Amino acid sequence: MVTIEVVLGDITGQRVDVIVTAANESLLGGGGVDGAIHRAAGPRLAQAGAAIAPCDPGDAKVTAAFDLDPPVRHIIHTVGPVWEGGTYGEADVLAACYRRSLRLADEFGARTIAFPAIATGVYGFPAAQAARIAIDTIRSTATAVDIAYLVAFDQDTYDTLTTALHDQAQ
């Protein structure tokens, strides 16, 4: 059973086996958490991403972590849904991001993984609903991962994730 922990901080500083970036389909990097991870990992990350792009929304692809320090083994690139009001399957796509990322983490033998609040920034997914989807999906996905860290970059996101985790306590 995977343990879920909410942390406040920068995902590029997490000491885990794998970090997940909230990418776009080109895997070339962008702003937000994707920009931070690409800056930290260096230009080879975009080159590696381009070689395996495109990545469909809800899917996930893995690359090396290059210059990321503290060193993690891999970066998983997943593309969240752009929020369009909630009636276009956005929730299912977001759940798939977490599920597919865990499947890849298992393929690469990761025991710890760090997720950002996928799709809740530029893509506009409501944070509280996204938090519930993240926690429900991680809990319902069979995985060898021991600990999944949900990394909040700001206090509001931290509070939202913490509330969701407590409300959905097993």
Among the listed residues 122, 155, 145, 137, the one whose alpha carbon sits nearest the alpha carbon of residue 22: 122
Which one is catalytic: 10, 17, 34, 167?
A: 34
Pick between residue 84 and residue 109 the one whose CB is nearest to ligand APR. 84
Q: Are strands 74-79 and 112-115 parallel, antiparallel or unpaired?
A: unpaired
Least separation in angstroms between residue 37's CB and ligand APR is 7
* Torsion angles phi and psi, residue 42, rounded to 5: 90, 175
Least separation in angstroms between residue 22's CB and ligand APR is 3
Region of 57 (left: φ > 0; alpha: ψ -120 to 50; beta: rest) is beta
Q: Are strands 147-152 and 74-79 parallel, antiparallel or unpaired?
A: unpaired
Pick between residue 143 and residue 158 the one whose CB is nearest to ligand APR. 158
- C-alpha dihedral, 9 to 55 to 103 to 11, nearest 10°: -10
| H or E element, residue 5 | strand 3-8
Q: Let me know if 34 is a catalytic residue.
A: yes
Least separation in angstroms between residue 80's CB and ligand APR is 4
Least separation in angstroms between residue 151's CB and ligand APR is 5
Q: Which residues bind ligand APR (CB under 6 A)?
A: 10-12, 22-24, 30-36, 80, 116-123, 151, 153-154, 157
Distance in angstroms (rounded) separating the CA atoms of residues 34 and 78: 10
Active site residues: 34
